[in-house]
């Protein structure tokens, strides 16, 4: 009996020894993906203006992982350093945020305070106005956190490399890695859905990380407690002064006393009592009323936010309002606290959706479609230079708006556009699509808006036809010279605002503001945004100097970190094929994210599903390689390059007009078929590498090159961005021929 127990115990121990490497690799893959997504959210929302450059966090995590993979065979144990380093990076970001937001001692400088920018960043115009502040260029701040984050991921990469080495089958190891990544995406998606705070993310990261450590050291335990205590104290301190929410898109800070909403440390919007103080929201309704055109009965508001524009539409006779808002937290705060309670009105239908997606799916037509302060203050994802609202300001998007307007309907855009050339670009785009001249109103009034004018709040109205209210408002302005709006909108009620002088009505005391048409003199605003090139806030089709400096800094820091930490043997074993396969695949992912965002909405759910689907396609590639065991890769290269050529030559907007089922099938084919062929090439190449940790490390290092190359979309557009991927994959063919013969050896 004793021998049987010992035998069963030995069998159990043997099975555990066999299974443990797979569990380790699964856990480290889960942890890396989860930590990567958490860092993108955390640092983008904590460090001022880093929200516009979140691919820096993404590339830093890839670089650290790459270096760690290359150190897997080394004697030094870097796995013990990752948690203390991550805690250090988080604490420094908290201190920087406190110095920026509360102490007022530090300001982040972006593009010379946006005086004459090549690219506009909302909120940056207020940076550095206090001469007593210490001004830090965004390049310096980004470089600092790039190094800290990359260093944090080196230990995780080393743990991954050692887990890879412990599994004899390369495809089995890679499949385990992908499965762990799938669970990482799903877990962080669940955290986003539940709107869990940041300290919950880092508690999960710490727990998963400690599970990888055989003997927990006091620096690791201390780092975990410091990390959680710092986050908990910050949450408590902020909660004393305001309400803090972590939506799937933003860190939202809400001050109930002022109705002020801040997202990612940048002022975003304020709830106001529209009848008392919301004159800008009431203005288009007042002008239409006094021009004798009647009320806007059916209204769609894109970017409804906390409800100011909805309240104005309801106050001036709207019979139905479709309130479209992508951000659930802003909408929830408006439903709860807006003084006018617009979201409780039965005439309002709330649409938690992407604005472009709503316009393409709805069957309704409207008297007024309004873009209401659709400046998202955040990138669409860490993979692209797109902002959440980018696909709203394209020629194709305006055609979608026109298709949903009634014959005499009105399209209204309003915002603080910061630069005259942005206003001129929107005016030319609207006139091209609608065939009628837009009416431009600047608050305060400006007779002329030139190319470099830094205007105030601007309204751009365009009619679907010459008989629209816009034409009648312009005719009244030309006849009377001006429209007069009171700072208290209700005081406009008993008077007609059109006239040469302010109305003299009993009880209409207060300041009257002159409203008149502004002439727009901005002849040089090309290129006009299109779905392929959706960069409204980019002055020219070029990579801005700020981005070029950032690319150079990242390249130099990446090379320096590689030389400092990666063993000499791994650097000497440069794997060109794996490197350029990584670069090409990064661009494949980028194009997939952009393509699906255009067709199905720029929401976090669509993003998550795209990344999840890409990993599933990689699993299918692994299964194919394990089953078929391909020995020659050239057929798959031909299929890959051919599918990329089709993807590049067929414009993304061509898919928009397809019926729903065909649109989904065609889009999945052009996005995921190249991923499958690329996955087959990678798996077949990786299968026979002598040093899997080093090979995978060079592959991940190539991702950094691909991420930097994404900036080419500002020049080429997203359709032709895949030409860069074609180049990378073509180079990988050549590098493979120059490599070892074992690349094509049988498994």
Give tens-digit pLDDT for 670-704: 889 999 999 999 999 998 888 888 889 999 999 99
The reported pLDDT for the residue numbered 744 is 35
**Around 353, how many Cα atoms within 13 Å sit in the side-chain half-sphere?**
21
Asked if residue 383 lies in contact with residue 55, where contact means CB atoms within 8 angstroms, the answer is: yes
Measure CA of the first residue to CA of the last residue in the chain; give whole Å: 43
For the four alpha carbons of 212, 217, 222 and 223, in that order, the dihedral sign comes to negative
Residue 143 tokens, joined: 């470089």
Closest CA to 617 of 674, 692, 579: 674
Rg (CA), the chain: 28
The reported pLDDT for the residue numbered 332 is 95
The reported pLDDT for the residue numbered 455 is 64
Give the integer Cα–Cα distance in Å for 16 and 22. 10
Give the integer Cα–Cα distance in Å for 257 and 536. 35
Question: What does the DSSP assignment read for 510-534?
Answer: S-EEEE-BPEEE----PSPP-SSS-
The reported pLDDT for the residue numbered 5 is 57
638 φ/ψ angles, rounded to the nearest 5 degrees: -60, -45
Asked if residue 592 lies in contact with residue 610, where contact means CB atoms within 8 angstroms, the answer is: yes
Asked if residue 193 lies in contact with residue 113, where contact means CB atoms within 8 angstroms, the answer is: no
What pLDDT digit, counting tens, does each position of 490-503 carry? 788 888 889 988 88
Please state the domain extents for the chain.
21-238, 534-541+573-747
DSSP lists the bridge partners of residue 370 as 301, 412
Closest CA to 204 of 193, 216, 191, 219: 191
Give the integer Cα–Cα distance in Å for 232 and 589. 35
Residue ranges of the chain with per-residue pLDDT less than 50: 11, 506-509, 738-747
Question: What does the DSSP assignment read for 481-507?
Answer: S-EEEESSGGGGTTS--BSSS----TT
Asked if residue 476 lies in contact with residue 444, where contact means CB atoms within 8 angstroms, the answer is: no
Give the integer Cα–Cα distance in Å for 601 and 185. 19
146 φ/ψ angles, rounded to the nearest 5 degrees: -60, -45
DSSP lists the bridge partners of residue 255 as 260
Give the integer Cα–Cα distance in Å for 71 and 582. 19
The reported pLDDT for the residue numbered 214 is 61
Give the integer Cα–Cα distance in Å for 581 and 579. 5
- 568-574: Cβ within 8 A, 24+ apart: 569/694, 570/70, 570/71, 570/691, 570/694, 570/697, 571/70, 573/691, 573/694, 574/698
The reported pLDDT for the residue numbered 364 is 95
Longest distance between any two alpha carbons in the chain, whole Å = 108
**pTM for this one?**
0.90
The reported pLDDT for the residue numbered 102 is 62
């Amino acid at each position: 009996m004793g021998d049987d127990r010992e035998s069963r115990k030995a069998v159990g121990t043997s099975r555990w020894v066999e299974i443990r490497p797979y569990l380790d690799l699964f856990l480290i893959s889960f942890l890396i993906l989860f930590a990567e997504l958490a860092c993108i959210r955390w640092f983008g929302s904590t460090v001022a203006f880093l929200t516009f450059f979140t691919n820096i966090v993404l590339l830093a995590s890839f670089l650290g992982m790459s270096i760690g993979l290359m150190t897997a065979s080394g004697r030094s144990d870097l796995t013990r350093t990752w948690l203390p380093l991550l805690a250090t990076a988080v604490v420094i970001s908290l201190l920087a945020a406190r110095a920026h937001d509360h102490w007022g001692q530090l300001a982040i400088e972006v593009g010379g305070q946006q005086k004459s920018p090549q690219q506009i960043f909302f909120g940056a115009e207020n940076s550095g106005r206090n001469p007593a502040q210490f001004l830090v260029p965004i390049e310096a701040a980004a470089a600092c956190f790039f190094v800290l984050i990359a260093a944090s991921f080196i230990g995780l990469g080393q743990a991954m490399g050692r887990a890879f080495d412990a599994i004899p089958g390369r495809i089995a190891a890679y499949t385990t890695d992908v499965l762990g990544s799938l669970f990482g995406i799903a877990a962080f998606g669940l955290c986003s859905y539940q709107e869990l705070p940041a300290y919950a993310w880092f508690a999960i990261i710490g727990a998963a990380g400690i599970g990888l450590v055989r003997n927990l050291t006091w620096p690791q335990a201390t780092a975990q407690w410091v990390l959680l205590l710092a986050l908990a104290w910050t949450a408590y301190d902020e909660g004393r002064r305001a309400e803090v929410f972590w939506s799937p898109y933003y860190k939202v800070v809400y001050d109930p006393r002022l109705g002020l909403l801040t997202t990612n440390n940048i002022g975003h919007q304020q709830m106001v009592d529209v009848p008392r103080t919301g004159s800008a929201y009431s203005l288009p309704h007042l002008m239409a009323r006094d021009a004798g055109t009647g009320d806007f009965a059916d209204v769609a508001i894109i970017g409804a936010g906390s409800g100011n524009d909805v309240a104005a539409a309801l106050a001036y006779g709207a019979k139905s309002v479709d309130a479209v808002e992508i951000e659930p937290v802003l909408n929830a705060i408006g439903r709860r606290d807006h003084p006018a309670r617009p979201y409780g009105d039965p005439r309002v239908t709330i649409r938690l959706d992407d604005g472009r997606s709503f316009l393409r799916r709805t069957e309704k037509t409207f008297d007024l479609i309004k873009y209401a302060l659709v400046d998202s203050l955040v990138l669409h994802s860490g993979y692209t230079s797109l902002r959440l609202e980018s696909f709203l300001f394209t020629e194709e998007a305006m055609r979608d708006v026109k298709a949903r307007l009634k014959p005499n309907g009105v399209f209204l855009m309003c915002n603080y556009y910061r630069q005259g050339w942005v206003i001129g670009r929107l005016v030319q785009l609207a006139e091209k699509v609608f065939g009628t001249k837009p009416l431009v109103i600047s608050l305060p009034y400006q007779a002329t808006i030139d190319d470099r004018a830094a205007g105030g709040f601007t309204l751009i109205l365009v009619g679907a036809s010459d008989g629209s209210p816009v034409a009648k408002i312009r005719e009244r302005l030309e006849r009377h010279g001006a429209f007069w709006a009171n700072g208290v909108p209700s005081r406009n009620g008993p008077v007609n605002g059109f006239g040469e002088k302010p109305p003299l009505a009993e009880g209409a005391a207060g300041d009257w503001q002159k409203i008149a048409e502004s002439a727009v003199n901005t002849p040089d605003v090309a290129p006009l945004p299109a779905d392929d090139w959706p960069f409204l806030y980019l002055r020219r089709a070029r990579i801005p100097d700020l981005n070029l400096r950032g690319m150079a800094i990242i390249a130099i820091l990446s090379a320096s970190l590689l030389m400092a930490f990666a063993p000499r043997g791994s650097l000497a074993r440069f794997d060109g094929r794996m490197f350029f396969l990584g670069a090409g695949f990064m661009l494949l992912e980028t194009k997939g994210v952009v393509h699906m965002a255009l067709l199905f909405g720029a929401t976090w759910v669509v993003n998550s599903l795209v990344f999840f689907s890409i990993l599933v396609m990689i699993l299918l590639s692994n299964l194919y390689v394990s089953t078929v065991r391909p020995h020659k890769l050239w057929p798959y290269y031909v299929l890959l390059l051919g599918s990329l050529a089709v993807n590049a030559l067929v414009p993304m907007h061509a898919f928009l007009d397809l019926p729903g089922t065909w649109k989904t099938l065609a889009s999945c084919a052009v996005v995921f078929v190249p991923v499958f062929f690329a996955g087959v090439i990678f798996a077949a190449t990786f299968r026979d590498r002598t040093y899997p940790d080093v090979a995978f490390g060079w592959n991940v290092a190539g991702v950094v090159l691909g991420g930097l190359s994404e900036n080419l979309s500002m020049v080429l557009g997203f359709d032709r961005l895949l030409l860069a991927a074609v180049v990378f994959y073509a180079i990988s063919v050549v590098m493979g021929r120059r490599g070892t013969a074992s690349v094509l050896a049988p498994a």
